[in-house]
Structure 1
């Protein structure tokens, strides 16, 4: 059980600062957060479609996640952390750029010229890997990217990553037994037959997550003598949607252990097995850090890109994957965007700490910059968490958080203090919820609080810039 040392976030201010940020001044550091020492290594682990309630340390009762539970026991567990979006590509764009979906380049899956391609990051989009590379970090991405197709300006190797191994495209990443992956800008053949409906059951040879684990271990060994940034972007537990359409079950995993004998639907056994297998892989990586004597000066962050899915035959209510919250992936209710978020930094973060400080993916870039001693770019939506993590300085807070989502129309959400507003279309009124009294967002109290609605409407007028790839659209009439 976690030792619950609660760190309460400072109440949201209403100052006149920039884009949703309180106007407390923040210094731009010129040296790392640990004076006189080597800047910390950064290991960022992002799961795919893992819900807030899918880990034991967040209340899960059936799925075994001992290594991630231990990570939380050894660090700080956030209860008010948010993904960048409710689907993968825009969420990862917010994570990499420090901008929310009202300002970042990639605001949805697709939109890149074909239904299966993404809008790429442009040359002028600043990625955290570029900043850390300039500061002397070795940088690597292993796993799923989703922010630039082959030959585009958004390739990982063109956005600051020294090394990339994995999937460029999120549709390709559905397949856990691919016939190729990318290494830097070259295709690498994998000993799996090309996936088709006819041979879908015969393609199981090389499991991509196993390759990613081994690549991570090699990278850590090769760069033990210099600061590194490893972005480990696993595809677990995302379903293979194409396989689901062919066979009815798309949770691809070598076997369903340790849940083989559970009286559960097969899809749920497989999903649980995927998560427990990921937990074991993370345990292997963390053990390797310890063997290399890198544990003490490595900041480990674990999170998920959005809420849980209803894909691959899964029913998110079976494991209560959204925790106590309403909604799942593709919703802007809490279940679609509130995610597990754990940080461990030995000897800097008090073990067993739990915080209700409100944070979002766009806070990662300024946090990493501060800890590495890199000047923080201007005009970001993110706020550095360095004061909270180091205990040095005053932690700034967001005036509001903003999301927009473009599938099937145009939707928006805002969190302001304990207030949460959701709009399902540009021509519809805002719903309003008090997350402190009603975390499950069951009671729309907009009519009782016109002053709060007016304040949030004011935020919405300044929260976004226009995007030619992601314009505001009314939902299609059914």
Structure 2
């Protein structure tokens, strides 16, 4: 089971230092499992982060490298030829389900969840629609699923609650069969709205801040319900749970709750605050309770890890490395020599007469090599801007650019940024034609 929060920061849960927001069930996962301290999301925004997770490829190689609107409902779809995690697990005999926010292809597209290996899907196919928690319909197996109580502008059914109930139903119905349940929940992504701001109603915070905290505590409560059901059904010992987030928090709430912990940056940034995330893995009797892993891991490692768990054949064209040995307390035979990220920005004013920028463009790059971290930003307007270099061992907050003192490392990192990417098929095509 893979539970993915949306825009949840490294410091937003108690076991990672949160002081104000209550997350007892997530904290309990950490007490009963392994807490990662150097886990990285695939990207600093929704769609590419999910694409990395599903394909095991980092954003220098994935087809989707930014949030691209596509047609009237849907986002740029991953190609039919893409080998995804659910396809591999389904072939290995697992029943597969996606409940939550997909964002990798709209209804009828090649990227739809049911066309990418999921036996069952319920949720938002278009991440833009996921901004509305009281939407009049969702998509079930790529057919409209009406939320009757939200018709005609009514706001009575909170979509996250639908997902939580659907997850519990899937577990009950599939308890006697191997299953892979992917839960990309939509909270605490904005809009910051929730049926009740309890237990924070009396706090002297702004209403959005109360709502943000209540959304995280609501998510935490539903995780508690899921774990309780696994125990009730007698399958707790045989179920591995992963909890993490797709990218860092937004600035408006992060500054109030210290959501990005000791790190610089927020969602959209390739500084640590935009991509370093909490990750907890729990498997009673197999993963040592209360353990911590300080080794580097990334979202593109999930696919090979799950393949090894399931005894499935791992696809060849991936960037990930299985961290299953680490989970089981064994020596890790392979580890990353480096990590890479890139982010493409979308220009929503591309067709205006005074527009000077292309519709999509490479905006940011980052890489990590040992304790060295390199960042390049604003690449369209500053293509020749000097590379920023940080030593995370001494400066985890990326406050001191030490590039001038380490020209040899700058050369290495510059070459790493150059060689870690390729122009995918989408970028060889005409993006302005594809993104109508």
Query: How far, CA to CA, are the matches of 2:218 and 2:69 in structure 1?
Result: 33
Q: 1:279 maps to which residue?
A: 220
Q: Which runs of 5+ in 1 are unaligned?
A: 1-42, 241-250, 473-478
Query: 1:49-448 residue pairs with structure 2 within 5 A?
Result: 49-110=7-68, 112=70, 117-193=74-150, 203-240=154-191, 251-310=192-251, 314-392=252-330, 394-407=332-345, 409=361, 410-424=363-377, 425=379, 426-448=383-405
Query: How far, CA to CA, are the matches of 1:371 and 1:468 in structure 2?
Result: 31
TM-score normalised by L of structure 2: 0.91
Q: Deviations over 1:316-337 (max 9, x none)?
A: 1100010010000001100000
Taking CA–CA contacts closer than 8 Å with sequence separation of 6 or more, which of the two structures ends up with the larger relative contact order? 1
Matched pairs, number: 410
Shift of 1:467: 3.0
Identify if the C-alpha distance between structure 1 residues 277 and 129 changes in structure 2 by more than 3 Å, giving closer, same or farther.
same
RMSD: 1.6
TM-score normalised by L of structure 1: 0.83
Shift of 1:315: 3.1
Q: Which runs of 5+ in 2 are unaligned?
A: 347-360, 430-436
User: Do 1:84 and 1:100's aligned partners in 2 also have CA atoms closer than 8 Å?
Assistant: yes
Q: Deviations over 1:32-64 (max 9, x none)?
A: xxxxxxxxxxx1000000000100000000000
Classify the secondary structure of the residue corresponding to 2:296.
strand
Query: How far, CA to CA, are the matches of 2:317 and 2:181 in structure 1?
Result: 25
Classify the secondary structure of the residue corresponding to 1:288.
helix
User: Do 1:111 and 1:470's aligned partners in 2 also have CA atoms closer than 8 Å?
Assistant: no
Q: Which has the higher helix share?
A: 2
Classify the secondary structure of the residue corresponding to 1:452.
helix
Query: How far, CA to CA, are the matches of 2:151 and 2:60 in structure 1?
Result: 38
Query: How far, CA to CA, are the matches of 1:113 and 1:466 in structure 2?
Result: 23
Query: How far, CA to CA, are the matches of 2:13 and 2:133 in structure 1?
Result: 22
